[in-house]
Amino acid sequence: MRECANILVASRSGSGDGEVPDDTAEVLAAAEALVSRVGGKVGIATPDGATQAECAARLADLCRAGSYDLVLVPHTLWGADVAPRTAGILGWPCATACSDLDAEEEGWTFKRRLHGGALVGTVRTGPAPCVISLETSQPTRTDSGDSLLTAARVVAGGRGVGGPGGFGKLAVLAEALGAALASSRPPCDAGWVPSALQVGITGAQVKPELYVAVGISGSVQHLAGMHRAKCIVAVNTDPDAAIFRYAHLGVVGEWTEVVAGMLDRLPDESAEAQC
Amino acid sequence: MLRIAVCAKQVLDPEAPAELLRVGEGLTVTASGTPEVLSPYDANALKAAADLRGEGETPNADVTLLTVGPRPAKPLLLKALASGADRVLALRTADEVGRLVDGLTTARRLAALVGEMGDCDLVLTGRQAADTNAGVVGPLLAGILGIDLVTVAVGIRAAGLGTVEVDRLTEGGIETIECGLPAVVTVSSEIGDPGPVDFPALAAAKRKPIRILEAAELDLRDSEADLGPVLVDLVKPKLERTCEIVGGEDARAAGRALVARIAELSG
Ligand SMILES: Cc1cc2nc3c(=O)[nH]c(=O)nc-3n(C[C@H](O)[C@H](O)[C@H](O)COP(=O)(O)OP(=O)(O)OC[C@H]3O[C@@H](n4cnc5c(N)ncnc54)[C@H](O)[C@@H]3O)c2cc1C
């Protein structure tokens, strides 16, 4: 068993007063749990206001000076950049989007999703130092002012919604349900909606009470961002669409019709928003 | 002229149904009937390179496709050449069971290929591979080469001499930065993909050079690979559940019934 861990936890700074953001607090807790078992120390660095390049250079300096042998970063867009960037400077291996970090033999073990989330791998490192970004229970993207990540209800559209106009109609449903609007990747790629709305392995990972997937086929990559929702509802014309294997509730049908029916039964604000 | 390297990995088509994936002996992953493709974000990088290059007699850039792996597939390489690459430089490696997760070794090999190119101003690659979903090779490569790095680009334009302008996705939205060259830029899908290729482009591709190097031809210290992370287990999580299909006289009626069922289930 590994006998000592000198861990440097890195994050962007929180709201001030030395507070760290919630995602970093989770990474810090994981680091402290490891050190309480195998011994060693935990340092924290919040390279403030700097570019990602400056952050990584500073972290690399800290590693050399403080003889750290494990750098932990929360797996946000920021962390997904800074972790391998720091590893690149140090010439260390790097693993991203990891969970279940533990000590084993001379190194560490952790889990990570492969093939878009269709498979989960267990990975073991050797004795060499490394940089790891950890998934946390916090939403993975924090685009400013966006309610998607904390929303209790989400209405998401896919390629099947057909265009920006379709998303306009979907926004009415979202409003009626008190839900945030989201998207699979193709509508973002096509510019129908901003990239900030993308849910999935390369977008936001959300955990709402209700997730309504409209015109979304149910690829593993999309699923990776929403399968933890309490109630998944699918609306799709194709009865064989994969989404029906992951949803709790489904309607097979033309989405504009189904959504019109839903709006028939939803509170009046929606009717006002509609016209 | 801008010298561009595009690093592209060959992977099982990630758009194929996930239930076809099988974990075999030595944790190798197979999917029967599923073709290999260039990892989609790497194809986006190729598209970005092709756009910088432009068409016609006097291209603005020269594009070399770099790939590392056990089975470089001629049809995929030809397609890349038809999509805007001027040549292919591939490194054939031994099959690497369990090494699926070691981006550092891959980055070192790509660095050797970049060295083989001679001059290189801009290295483009996908923001992450479709199989490992790691996103480490581009940044590690920048570190090894000691050059600048920009991640998750959604737009790249040639700017003044020795610079490119990059739109990148950040937590605060899209920001535009000037990036001095040489640099590594990782590319996201918003850039677009190369799309289908036509016959004339394929015919022209057949006249472009494909050079496949064996590992022994490059001065690579493979022993360092032993330090990297190794995959020790690989399982298929169970994500499926039974879906209750809500019906009605027509789709609109089903929509009305759906609202009632949602209320019962999720409150
Ligand atoms: C490395 C990698 C990362 C990726 N990351 C992500 C990610 O983070 N998020 C993501 O979403 N994707 C991601 N993808 C893409 C993913 O593989 C799929 O291509 C994508 O999720 C498909 O989006 P979709 O379901 O909207 O489109 P499609 O698969 O085209 O599905 C459209 C659906 O709409 C239905 N439809 C059509 N018309 C109607 C109608 N009138 N009414 C009702 N239904 C209709 C169709 O039956 C179909 O099922 C990634 C891919 C790769 C390779």
The atom number, within ligand 1, closest to the CA of A254 reads: 42
Distance of CA A210 to the CA centre of its chain: 17
DSSP bridge partners of A204? A199
pLDDT in tens, A196-205: 999 999 999 9
Instruction: Say how far apart CA A83 and CA A76 lie, in whole Å.
Output: 10
- CA B57 distance to own-chain centroid: 28
Is residue B212 a contact partner of residue B72, using CB atoms and an 8 Å limit?
Answer: yes
Chain A contact present for B259, CB below 8 A: yes
* B133/A254 Cβ within 8 A: no
pLDDT digits over A104-119, tens only? 878 899 999 999 999 9
Q: For residue A143, give every residue at least 6 positions away whose Cβ sits within 8 Å of its Cβ, in sequence order, or none.
A: A196, B171, B172, B173
pLDDT value for B97 = 52
Q: How far is B30 from chain A (nearest CA, A)?
A: 11
**In the predicted structure, residue A269 carries a pLDDT above the cut 60:** no
Banded pLDDT at B217 (limits 50, 70, 90): confident
Share of chain A above pLDDT 70, in %: 91
Q: Which two tokens stand for residue B252?
A: 């609109």
Spatial separation of the C-alpha atoms in residues B197 and B201, rounded to whole Å:
6
- Over the range B109-136, which residues count as b (16 or more CB within 10 Å of their CB) and which as e? bbbbbbebbeebbbbbbbbbbbbbbbbb
- Residue A165: partners with Cβ closer than 8 Å, 6 or more residues away: none
SS3 content of chain A, % helix, strand, coil (to 5): 35, 30, 35
- Residue range A223-232, pLDDT digits in tens: 999 999 999 9
Mean pLDDT rounded to a whole number for chain A: 90
The per-residue pLDDT for A12 is: 79
B130 lines ligand 1 (CB under 6 A): yes
Quick one: residue A34, left, alpha or beta (phi over 0 = left, psi -120 to 50 = alpha)?
Answer: alpha
pLDDT digits (tens, 9 = 90+) for A58-116: 999 999 998 899 999 999 889 999 999 999 999 999 999 999 999 987 889 999 999 99
**Pick from A61, A185, A245, A193: nearest CA to B44:** A185
Looking at residue A163, its pLDDT comes to: 97
CA distance A157 to A108: 39
Are residues A249 and B243, on separate chains, in Cβ contact within 8 Å? yes
Tell me the pLDDT of chain B averaged across its residues. 92
Q: Which residue has the higher pLDDT, A273 or A206?
A: A206
What average pLDDT score do residues B11-20 get? Answer: 94
Half-sphere exposure of A119 (CA within 13 A, CB side): 28
State the closest ligand 1 atom to the C-alpha of A184, by its place in the atom list counted from 1. Answer: 11
> CA dihedral in degrees (B198, B201, B206, B210; nearest 10)?
-110
pTM over 0.90: yes
Is the pLDDT assigned to residue A142 strictly greater than 80?
Answer: no
Which of B:140-199 have CB within 8 Å of A? 140-144, 148-149, 151-152, 154, 169-174, 188-190, 192
Tokens of A8: 């440097």
Nearest CA to ligand 1 atom 7: A200
Contact B5, B66 (CB under 8 A): yes
Residue written as token pair 């049809």: B75
pLDDT mean over B150-168: 95
- Residue B123 Cα to ligand 1 midpoint, Å, equals 29
Contacts of B190 in chain A (CB under 8 A): 188-189, 191, 195
Number of neighbouring beta carbons within 10 Å of residue B248: 16
Cα A66 from Cα A272, distance rounded (Å): 61
CA distance linking residue B188 with residue B172, whole number of Å: 16
Q: Is the pLDDT of residue A275 over 50?
A: no
| Of A156-170, B65-79, B88-102, B121-135, the least confident | B88-102
Residue A178 tokens read as 């008190």
Per residue in B116-157, pLDDT (tens digit) is: 999 999 999 999 999 999 999 999 999 999 999 999 999 999
* Residue A241 CB–ligand 1 contact under 6 Å: yes
pLDDT at B230: 87
